[in-house]
Amino acid sequence: MNLFLDDLLIFFDDLLLNKISKKCLEISNQAFQVNNGNIPKWSQAIDTIDALPKGKVALKQPYISINQDGIDSELLMEALHKLIPWRKGPFMINDLALESEWNGDMKWQRITKYIKPLKNKRVLDVGAGNGYFTLRMAMEGAKRVLGIEPFLLFNYQFRAIKSMIKSPLNALLLPVKLEDIPKIQDQLEQIDYKQIRKIF
C-alpha cells in the first residue's frame, strides 16, 4: 500500500510547490512510521478499497458523491467501517451514505463566500481533518489544494475517498504540521478554519 507517494509526485509537479516537496515527503514518511496498533487495520482497509472499481466524483448536496459501477457494496462498507470515526463529511458512494460526526456541507455554506473565488489558486488547508473541505475546494476549481493534518486516521480516510475517484482531483492531504511547512506558505492562499471561525 502506498498512501501518498504517487500522489505527492504528481501534486508537486508545480514550479512553486515543488520547492516544498522534499520537506513534505520527509515529514510524511516519518509520520507514517509511528508505532500505532491501528495501522494494520487501516492499511487493510485501503488495500481493499484500492482494488475496487473507480468512479466519478460530484456534489450531491450535502454529500460529496462518488458513483462507482460494479462494486461490492458490502465489502466497501466493511472497509470504510475500519476507518471510523468519520469526523468530517458526509460522503455518498453510489446509494451508500457515509455519515460523519460533523456535517461539513453546513459549514461550507457559511465559509464559502469568504474563500471564493478559488479557481486556479493554490490553497493550503490548515487543520484539514480528513480532507472534506480540501476536496470541496478542488471541486471548486482550485489549481492545487494541499491539506495538512497530523492526525493519522484522517490521512487514511482521505486516502480511502480519493482512491475511489477515477480522475483524481488536484488535492492532497499530508500528516504535516503548519509550523513544519517551509516559508513558501506565504505564497499560498491559506485557509485556516480557526481564523474563519472568528468571523461568526
Dist CA 38 CA 15 (whole Å): 36
5 pLDDT band, cuts 50/70/90, is low
5-9, 44-48, 96-100, 122-126 — which is least confidently predicted? 5-9
113 pLDDT band, cuts 50/70/90, is confident
Distance of alpha carbon 38 from the chain centroid: 19
- What is the pTM for the complete model shown? 0.85
- The per-residue pLDDT for 173 is 92
Region 19-33: what's the mean pLDDT?
Answer: 81
Region 71-94: what's the mean pLDDT?
Answer: 90
Three-state SS for 42?
A: helix
- The per-residue pLDDT for 3 is 62
189-192 vs 122-126, strand pairing mode: parallel
- The per-residue pLDDT for 12 is 73
Whether residue 40 has a cis bond before it, omega within 30° of 0: no
- The per-residue pLDDT for 109 is 87
- The per-residue pLDDT for 96 is 86
Mean pLDDT rounded to a whole number for the chain = 83
- State what percent of residues in the chain have pLDDT above 70: 85
Q: Compute how many other C-beta atoms are within 10 angstroms of the C-beta atom of residue 200.
A: 7
Instruction: Say whether pLDDT at 190 is over 60.
Output: no
Region 125-141: what's the mean pLDDT?
Answer: 92
Cα-based distances in Å from 91 to 18, 24, 77, 196: 31, 27, 12, 23
